[in-house]
Amino acid sequence: MSTVANKETVRLKKQLTGVVISDKMQKTVVVRTDRRMIHPLYDKVVVVSKKFVAHDEKGHKIGDQVRIQQTRPLSKTKRWVVIETVSKAPENIKQAKAADASEKAAPVKKTKAASKAKTAAKRKK
């Protein structure tokens, strides 16, 4: 009788490093990963970005650089989990993001006088 050797193959899970671009969900972050490739036609180096939705227990913030690992499906789009923080985001980036969000939230109202002046300037031309 011959014995069959057990060939156990260990499947290594993929790991990627990226930057957190959204932390608006509970226990979930969106991570953007960048990779450089040479364009097949133009022979230029281009940066290709891809977004991954990852499970995050610790609550990382926008701008943090994190390492994510592939896992079983956790939801419809979530197939990655954050395993470690590579580096924290500088405070000035967080403040700039907050300022941009507040500017977008309060749109500038146009007055009738401003719109009339604009149309009058167009007519003169």
The string of pLDDT tens digits covering residues 85-101 is 999 988 876 666 666 66
Strand 80-87 relative to strand 45-55: parallel, antiparallel, unpaired?
A: parallel
Please give the Cα distance from 35 to 23 (Å, whole number).
22
Q: Please name every residue paired with 53 in a beta bridge, in sequence order, or none if there are none.
A: 30
Is the confidence at residue 84, as pLDDT, over 90?
Answer: yes
Asked if the model's pLDDT at residue 6 lies above 70, the reply is: no
pTM reported for the whole predicted model: 0.66
Q: Which 3 state secondary structure label does DSSP give 16?
A: strand
Residues 6+ apart with CB under 8 A from 41: none
What's the full length of the chain, in residues?
Answer: 125
Higher-confidence residue of 1 and 66: namely: 66
Residue 105 pLDDT > 60: yes
* Average pLDDT, integer, range 47-58: 95
Task: Compute CA 18 distance to the chain's CA centroid, rounded to the nearest angstrom.
Answer: 8
27-59 residues labelled b (16+ CB within 10 A) or e (exposed): ebbbbeeeeeeeeeeeeeeeeeeeebbbbbeee
